[in-house]
């Protein structure tokens, strides 16, 4: 006997993600899922964001990058609460991991939760975790054809931060082609060229972020 099922394999994950979001909402925490290839600048962006915003809003961080606890230590030095997730070599964060991490945080004391996802452009696009906004950090040395290689990721996010714009003079990176490709697959996305080293575009990223949070930039 054949039974029609038609059930999304990721539905169990999606259900936990919904619960995560409800928990965050209840505590007025705004969560941002930060995704990128390894080395694109996720940790640098988180550090820069903390330094510039920590006097204004209370920030917490979930570190999911597999590389080591080095990132968590760097973030911890900035004096914000940070929880390290051990994905056990996994290629993405899932809703269950976030649920456990949230259980280890004092959510009442956090306004903005920055989540560093595992460095990977495939799987994190498919696994919902319960965030409010998804941000992709893409960097100039990775080339302007990244959107064509990872359409699902570029299609999924709310903002694309093009990092390492300071290196552009040394590369054959074409900003026009990149922006068009990104907008082509994701009409509403915000594309913001930034440099976590030189500081270009960081103010624009922060205003975008604060507006998403419903605050004055």
- Contact residues toward other proteins (CB under 8 A) are 1-13, 90-92, 94, 122-123, 126-127, 145, 148-149, 151-152, 155, 180-181, 183-185, 187
Quick one: 81 or 124, whose CB is closer to other proteins?
Answer: 124
Q: How many residues bind to ligand GDP according to rule CB under 6 A?
A: 17
> Which strand (E) or helix (H) includes residue 159?
strand 159-163
Q: Which residues contact 32 (CB under 8 A, 6 or more apart)?
A: 112, 113, 114, 115, 131, 132, 133, 134, 135, 209
Scanning 12-20, 69-77, 150-158, 197-205 for contacts with Mg ion by CB under 5 A, the matching segment is 69-77
Q: Binding string, 176-195, against ligand GDP, x = CB under 6 A?
A: -------------------x
Picked from other proteins, ligand GDP, Mg ion, none, the partner binding residue 41 (CB below 5 to 8 A depending on kind) is ligand GDP
What does the buried/exposed string (b/e) look like for 53-69 if buried means 16 or more CB atoms within 10 Å of the residue's CB?
beeeeebbbbbbbbeee
Output the smallest distance, CB 96 to ligand GDP, in A. Answer: 23
Cα radius of gyration (the chain): 17
- The answer to whether 85 and 97 have CB atoms below 8 angstroms apart is yes
């Amino acid at each position: 006997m054949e039974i029609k099922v038609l059930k999304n394999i990721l539905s169990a994950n999606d259900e936990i993600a919904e619960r995560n979001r409800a928990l965050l909402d209840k505590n007025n925490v705004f969560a941002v899922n930060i995704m990128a290839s390894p080395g694109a600048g996720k940790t640098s962006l988180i550090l820069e964001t903390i330094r510039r915003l920590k006097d204004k809003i209370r920030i917490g961080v979930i570190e999911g990058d597999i590389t080591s606890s080095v990132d968590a230590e760097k973030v911890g030095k900035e004096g914000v609460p940070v929880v390290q997730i051990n994905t056990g070599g996994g290629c993405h964060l899932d809703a269950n991991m976030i649920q456990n991490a949230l259980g280890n945080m004092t959510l009442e004391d956090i306004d903005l939760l920055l989540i560093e996802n595992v460095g990977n452009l495939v799987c994190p696009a498919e696994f919902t975790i319960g965030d409010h906004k998804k941000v992709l950090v893409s960097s100039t040395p990775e080339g302007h054809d990244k959107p064509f290689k990872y359409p699902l990721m570029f299609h999924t996010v709310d903002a694309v931060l093009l990092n390492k714009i300071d290196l552009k003079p040394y590369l054959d990176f074409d900003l026009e082609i990149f922006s068009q490709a990104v907008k082509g697959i994701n009409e509403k996305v915000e594309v913001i060229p930034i440099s976590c080293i030189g500081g270009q575009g960081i103010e624009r990223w922060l205003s975008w972020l604060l507006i998403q949070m419903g605050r004055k930039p």
